[in-house]
Structure 1
Amino acid sequence: MGWKVAVVGATGQVGREMLNILAERQFPADEVVALASPKSIGTEVTFGETTLTVKSLEDYDFRGTDIALFSAGGAISAKWGPKVAAAGAVVIDNSSHFRMDPDVPLIVPEVNAHALRAYAKRNIIANPNCSTAQLVVALKPLHDFAKIKRVVVSTYQSVSGAGNKGMDELFNQTKALYNPAFQGVEPKKFTKQIAFNVIPHIDSFMDDGFTKEEWKMTAETRKILDPDIALTATCVRVPVFVGHSESVNIEFENPITVEQAREILREAPGCMVVDRREDGGYITPLEAVGEYATYISRIRRDPTVEGGKGLALWVVSDNLRKGAALNAVQIAEILVARHLKKAA
C-alpha cells in the first residue's frame, strides 16, 4: 500500500515542480492531491502523464493524508500547517514560517538527515531558504574535513525566487525595452527595474542594514550545519529566470588544498564538480535548470587567508528544485523509508 500526498500551493512555480519531481522520482504514492486557494478550483496541473484537478485547501479533509507538501507562502503555512499536522499528516513546509522554531527540524537531506528524528514534536518539517539549501550542500563535506570558521557569500538570485510575479515582471520589462514605442517601465514586484539590472535587495530591511534574506542565510546555515560558523551574506536579485548562483569565500580552522576540496566535493552527495580552468569550464545557472545537483566550479585558494586555510568557490543550483521542491521530496522519501509506518 502506497502513501497519500497532498501538495498545497500546487498552481505556483514550486508547487508544480513538486508534482513534477514526485512523478520523476516515482514517489511511492497511491494518491496525490493538488490543493490551492478557492480561486484556483478546477485548474489543471500536470503530474507525470496524468492531469490533476486542483481542489480548495479550505474545504479539504486531511484525514488519511500521510504527507502534505506546502508551498503557498508563510501566512498559509502559519494558518494551515498546525491544523494539517494535527489531522495526522506530516507537513513539509517550504515557507520561512517554521524554520527557526526549535521544535521544528530544518532539513537538507545531504547535510542533516539525522535531525528528522525530531519531526514528531509538531509533525512539521521545514525546508530551508533556496539560497541556503545549495550553500550548505557544498559546505557540509568541506566542514567535515577542515572545519569552517567563517563564510562570506554573495548571491546572484533568479527572479523565480520571487514566484510567478517575479518571472512575469522580468519577461514583460524585457519585452517593453525592445519595443520601439518604449516609454519606460514601472516596477511592481521588485523595487527597481530588474530587466538588464541587478538589485542588491531581497526581502525586507532589518535594523542592522542587512535584509531578511541575508539574515535567513546566516541563521539557517547555523541551525542546519553548525551554530559556531560565522557567516555574512549579500543577496542580490539578477535578471535570470531560474537558477541561483553564489560566490563563496570560506575560512577554515585547518588547512585544505584545492585538490583536496575538489576530490571531497566530487564524492559528496548532491554535489557535482565542474571545474576546468579554461573558457567555459564552469557551470552557469542556465545549465543547472532542470537538474538535481548543486554544481561547484571555480575552486581556488583564497590568498587573503593565511596557512592554506581559505578557499573560494562558485556554487550554482536550480532554485526551484534543490532550493525548494526537490529538497521537500527528498525529505518525504527519507520519512517513508525510515520513520513513517503505514497502517496495515
Structure 2
Amino acid sequence: MTPLSARALNRALLGRQFLLARTDHTPLEVIERLVALQAQEPNWPYVGLWSRICGFTHAQLTTLLQDRKVVRSGLLRSTQHLTAADDFRRLRPLLQPVLDRTARSAYFARNSAGLDTASLVATGLELLAGGTTPRKELARRLAERHPGRDGRILAGEVELRTPLIHSPATGTWGSWGTRSAVSVTPAGTWLGLPMVPATAKDLIRRYLAAFGPAGTMDVQAWSGLTRLGEIVSGMRAELRHYRGPDGRELIDLADAELPDPDMPAPVRLLPAFDNALLGHADRTRIISDEDRKRVMPGQAQVRPTFLVDGHVRGSWSLEGDTVRLTPFRPLSATDRAALEQETERLLPFVGGKDVFYSPWHRPLDPSLAR
C-alpha cells in the first residue's frame, strides 16, 4: 500500500472540501459534493459556502431552500443538516437507524415509556395533517393527547422517527437562535416524491469523494452508522488502498486524485460545526488533539475556526458587528496579515464592521474537554 503523510491527507481533505481554492461550481453542486452541511444554527451553512464558492451570496442558498431543492432536517449523526432534496430522499431512509437509536436514548425513553412507538409517530403525522406546523404547536397537541408527558420531548421523538422538513422561513440567513420557532412538514408532502433508500455502498462512495482517503471508522464517525467493515471489505476491488501515518489502512475512490502535498493552503474561516472538522474519527489531519479540546469543549459545541496552512490555528466569533479572532498560539506576521485580509472580506457578508485581534488565548480548562 502506498503510504500517505499527514500533510498529504490534509491537502486531500482541503481539496475535496473546496478549501484549497474557491470553486466556480454552483451552491447546489457544492452541497451535493459535501453530501450535507451541518446546520444546527441556520446561518452557519451560509458561511461555510462563502468560504468555498467564488462570489457566493445569501440569496443563492435562500433560493435553493425556498425552491425545495435543498432541505433542512435531521440527518447525519441525528443532527440538523442541509442537503440536496434528492439526496435527502435517498440518505434519510439509510440513516434512519441512527436517528432511531437516538430516539431510544434515556432522554426520550423516560418520557415515552409505555407508549407504542408506531402509534406515537402515527399520532404526530395525524396532527401535522400533511401540512406545515410550528414545532411548538405540535408539542402542545401531543401533550394534550398524552397528559403528564412533556410534549416538547414527544415532538422531538416524532421528528427523529419520521422525516420532517424545516420550513425555509426558519432556516435562512438572519435566523440566529430560532430553533424554538421552527415549523415542520412531512417530507413526502414537502418534496412531493417518495423516499428511495440509497445503499451503504452509495454512502461510502459519496463520503470518500468529500473526505477521502479515510478508514472505515472515519465513515462511521461521520455518518453515525456502525458495522460498515464488512461492506467496505466487499468493495475492496473497486477502491484504492493506502497506509496512513499511524499505519492504519485507508481507502479511496479508484479515480480520485490527490493534490501535491506541498501545495500552499490559503487562510480560511470555517463556521461552527463545519463537517471538515467532524468528518473523521481521527481529526488530526486538520486539527490537533490539543486544539480540538478548545474548539469542541462540550458535546453540543463546535466553535467557528480559522485555518492557517490547512490546520486549525484559532477560533473566531461575531460579537455585535465585530469579528473577534482568537489564535491559539502566536502567528507569523505574514499569516496574521493573511488572516486579517480574509476576515475583512468576510465582514460585509456577516454584517460586521470591525475586526478585533486577540493576541492571546484563554487557558484551556481540562474539565471542559470531552
Normalising to structure 1: TM-score of the pair? 0.28
Higher strand fraction: Structure 1 or Structure 2?
1
Higher helix fraction: Structure 1 or Structure 2?
2
Normalising to structure 2: TM-score of the pair? 0.27
